[in-house]
Chains A and B, each alone.
Chain A
Amino acid sequence: MAKLNMVQAINRALDEEMARDENVITLGQDVGLNGGVFRVTEGLHEKYGEERVIDTPLAESGILGSSIGMAIAGLRPVAEMQFSGFSYLMFAQLEGHASRMRSRTQGQHTVPLVVRMPYGGGVRALEHHSESHEATYAHLPGVKVVIPSGPSNARALLAAAIRDPDPVVFMEPKCSYRAFREDVPEEPQVMEIGKGQVVQEGADVTVISWGAMMRPTIKAVEAAQKDHGVSIELIDLLTISPMDTDKIVSSVKKTGRCVIVQEAPRSFSPSSEIIATINDHALMYLEAPVKRVTGFDVVTPYFGKEQSYLPNERRVRHAIEETIGF
């Protein structure tokens, strides 16, 4: 067991996968000698060389478009977008090509690639460096969207994403990068994509979150349990798309109450989809309206105001209390 932060854990997964399969390569801006601006690819350049760890020219569409070709031709590219805010420059390649190559060729050509990107706020960054726009990617059929919440699941999910037969957008909550450490086993680990995780079982209310929001959510859950003696089932979604609707539905059927916490703007978001799913499959089990704590439908504010706009422990606790007290 080693105590690793999320940066180190992701780095370990990359290292293990590159060691396991020589077709795995990584490419992006500053990922080589510099080890990435967050140091996620630190040391890989020295270990695997320039052919497999590529400092690319500054062009997101170029990075993803060439990764698509590499993937079609048998490599397993792990592309890095320096920040999710710059990933939209590759959107056309992802939507128009990576997502549908399998479908339009009836499975003859496939695009097993991973595109990693730090996302989210809370680190006092410049504009375009703090957005949480997972819904944008989750809306694309043929693209999987994975968001780890801690070192351990980040490592195991990245390994799974690299081995996955289809394009995976892997969004890394940058404010959790170095925020805490976890025990990570020595032997490689793989978690299944498409499955949420029940972090703790409970009977009175289901709380669902993912990514960076898991931390304030866990604190709020602990506080609500302590103050009100409620039994809370906490689900870490981990995969945004395809969503683990079974887990959500069975939990809500059991508890009859649900609170969803997301950093992203509210409209047309994962929480909207969760509520629609509950409506489809568990409406008659509800004892209170599903409540959500979300970002707002505004352009992500510069960091001077971001703390007012980000969901926090207190907001989550209030939502849990209102739901229980309904």
Chain B
Amino acid sequence: MKMSEHSTIGISSKPKTKHWPDTCDSEAPCHTFSISSLQILDEHGNLDESRMPDVSSEDLVKLYRAMVLARLVDDRTLKLQRQGRIGTVPLCTGHEAVTCGATLAMRDEDWFIGSYRDLGGRLMRGEPIENGLLYYNGHEEGAVFPGGERTLPISIIIAAQCLHAVGVAYAMRMKGETETAVVCFLGDGGTSEGDFHEAMNFASVWQVPVVFVVANNQWAISVPREKQMHSRTIAQKAIAYDMPGIQVDGNDALAVYKATKDALDLARSGGGPTLIEAVTYRMLMHTTADDPTRYQPPEDLEIWAKRDPITRFRKFIEQKDLWDDEQQTDLEAQCKQKIEAAVAAFESRTDFKVDSPFDHVFGTSHTRIEQQRAEFLDMLKKESADG
């Protein structure tokens, strides 16, 4: 393994001269802070020109198409679940600008490490639509995809992925990939876990190239944000770790893109981690097993429906003459065709290997496991012979 000369960025071999005490003085009081926020496209699709990032027209259209695809996949998946054709699924409607906006800012060689609410981003990373269907219908085959070496499988264990992201970022730097960064997605609830805080601290101490994107959708299943934390913002948690923190309109894909792009640029230049809070709303149930009418004020949905990320983005690209009704009709038809093809492929899959769990317990072969495999297969054979 070749170590790069950058391998010790942020970890100096000699301790710096320490000036005790590290206390606040009255000229730079610690007890006040401000959090910057960012919106570029308002809910009507009006652009704040002064903040417009440098994005090609091609990328704007790509971003829009990705969000629409994610929304339509979500719709279809919900229907499949309601028809009993797939297991319990989390829905991602409302989150399109967060995951697609952030993913647009990433390079292929960057790492995508997230949870179950990142459908749009995963699809942009090249995950086939069929994968999610397989995964949520109980098949390990859907957890990975060819080309997904830098897209880790969904972390069901809340916030655990934050530490993995830090480790990956450390490894990248040590291996001399100093231009590579990691984007880690989690939810507002996830910020309560110790793993999140440990990851923030590790990232800060090691100054590794990782960007935490918290999709603050106001809920962790039935627990509202104000029961989750007393902090007024999530972005302010960055201050404790002396890293940049910003709150962005999570339904504004341009704002999410810009914040992520800036954070990635900083990370690539050795400037360490960033925390981005993307404020959004979970527009559907937590998963298909959840009933939000038990706890959610219905007026919330009305308010947030007006802030829809896709509607406003469409208005924006239409105003820029990048999009029209005909393209919309074509896009929807194309998406539907892709989705139906994926559903057909998913439903016709039969090549599952019943003993594959034995294949992947370890990378080495062990008698105890192999004996159990033989016993298992023998038992299945007898059972199918018995009918």
Pair A298/B357 contact, Cβ less than 8 Å = yes
Q: A55-B227, A306-B138 are contacts. A298–B361 as well, Cβ < 8 Å? A: yes
Chain A residue numbers with a CB within 8 Å of B140 are 301-302, 304
- Asked if B157 CB lies within 8 Å of chain A CBs, one says yes
Q: A126-B156, A301-B357 are contacts. A55–B376 as well, Cβ < 8 Å? A: no
Q: A37-B289, A297-B372, A298-B358 are contacts. A308–B380 as well, Cβ < 8 Å? A: yes
Least Cβ distance of B377 to chain A in Å?
Answer: 10
Chain B residue numbers with a CB within 8 Å of A91 are none
Chain A residue numbers with a CB within 8 Å of B139 are 302, 304
Which A residues, 73 to 101, have Cβ-Cβ distances below 8 Å to chain B?
85-86, 89
Q: A34-B294, A58-B223 are contacts. A296–B192 as well, Cβ < 8 Å? A: no
Q: A37-B221, A58-B223 are contacts. A126–B368 as well, Cβ < 8 Å? A: no
Least Cβ distance of B215 to chain A in Å?
Answer: 14
Which chain B residue has the least Cβ–Cβ distance from A86?
A: B157
Q: State the CA gap A19–B268 with chains docked (Å).
A: 59
Least Cβ distance of B72 to chain A in Å?
Answer: 23
Chain B residue numbers with a CB within 8 Å of A305 are 138, 352, 354, 356-357
Pair A125/B157 contact, Cβ less than 8 Å = no
Pair B221/A89 contact, Cβ less than 8 Å = no
- Asked if A303 CB lies within 8 Å of chain B CBs, one says yes
Interface size on B, residues (CB 8 A): 46
Pair B158/A58 contact, Cβ less than 8 Å = yes
Q: A125-B88, A298-B357, A314-B386 are contacts. A55–B222 as well, Cβ < 8 Å? A: yes
- Asked if A223 CB lies within 8 Å of chain B CBs, one says no
Chain B residue numbers with a CB within 8 Å of A86 are 157-158
Contacting residue for A35 out of B294, B360, B376, CB 8 A:
B294
Which B residues, 113 to 168, have Cβ-Cβ distances below 8 Å to chain A?
135-140, 156-159
Which B residues, 156 to 207, have Cβ-Cβ distances below 8 Å to chain A?
156-159, 189-190, 192-195
Q: A86-B157, A303-B138, A309-B357 are contacts. A297–B369 as well, Cβ < 8 Å? A: yes
User: A-B contact count, CB below 8 Å?
Assistant: 110
Chain A, interface size category, equals 35 or more
Least Cβ distance of B43 to chain A in Å?
Answer: 29
Chain B residue numbers with a CB within 8 Å of A124 are 87-88, 138
Q: A298-B357, A303-B87, A306-B138 are contacts. A57–B228 as well, Cβ < 8 Å? A: yes
For the complex, would chain A's binding face be called helix, strand, loop or mixed by DSSP majority? loop
Contacting residue for B295 out of A33, A89, A298, CB 8 A:
A33
Pair B192/A33 contact, Cβ less than 8 Å = no
Chain A residue numbers with a CB within 8 Å of B159 are 58
Contacting residue for B369 out of A58, A89, A298, CB 8 A:
A298
- Asked if A197 CB lies within 8 Å of chain B CBs, one says no
Which chain B residue has the least Cβ–Cβ distance from A125?
A: B88
Chain B residue numbers with a CB within 8 Å of A128 are 156-157
- Asked if A267 CB lies within 8 Å of chain B CBs, one says yes
Q: A128-B156, A298-B369, A303-B138 are contacts. A55–B223 as well, Cβ < 8 Å? A: yes
Least Cβ distance of A85 to chain B in Å?
Answer: 8
Least Cβ distance of B53 to chain A in Å?
Answer: 33
Pair B194/A62 contact, Cβ less than 8 Å = yes
Chain A residue numbers with a CB within 8 Å of B228 are 57-58
Which chain A residue has the least Cβ–Cβ distance from B222?
A: A34
Least Cβ distance of A119 to chain B in Å?
Answer: 16
Contacting residue for A296 out of B190, B222, B358, B382, CB 8 A:
B358
Q: State the CA gap A55–B221 with chains docked (Å).
A: 11
Which chain B residue has the least Cβ–Cβ distance from A302?
A: B138
Q: State the CA gap A314–B380 with chains docked (Å).
A: 11
Chain A residue numbers with a CB within 8 Å of B383 are 314
Chain A residue numbers with a CB within 8 Å of B376 are 296, 308-309
Chain B residue numbers with a CB within 8 Å of A183 are none
- Asked if B3 CB lies within 8 Å of chain A CBs, one says no
Least Cβ distance of B214 to chain A in Å?
Answer: 13
- Asked if A21 CB lies within 8 Å of chain B CBs, one says no
Least Cβ distance of B63 to chain A in Å?
Answer: 29
Which chain B residue has the least Cβ–Cβ distance from A38?
A: B289
26 CB contacts below 8 A, A to B, read: A29-B221, A30-B222, A32-B222, A33-B295, A37-B289, A57-B192, A57-B223, A57-B229, A62-B194, A89-B194, A126-B156, A129-B156, A266-B372, A296-B372, A297-B369, A298-B361, A301-B140, A302-B135, A302-B138, A302-B140, A304-B139, A304-B352, A305-B357, A308-B376, A314-B383, A315-B379
What 10 A-B pairs are tightest by C-beta distance, nearest first? Answer: A303-B138, A304-B138, A34-B222, A57-B192, A58-B189, A298-B357, A58-B192, A302-B138, A304-B139, A301-B357
- Beyond contacts A267-B368, A296-B372, A304-B138: 6 other A-B pairs, Cβ-Cβ < 8 A, are A29-B220, A59-B194, A86-B158, A89-B157, A124-B87, A304-B137
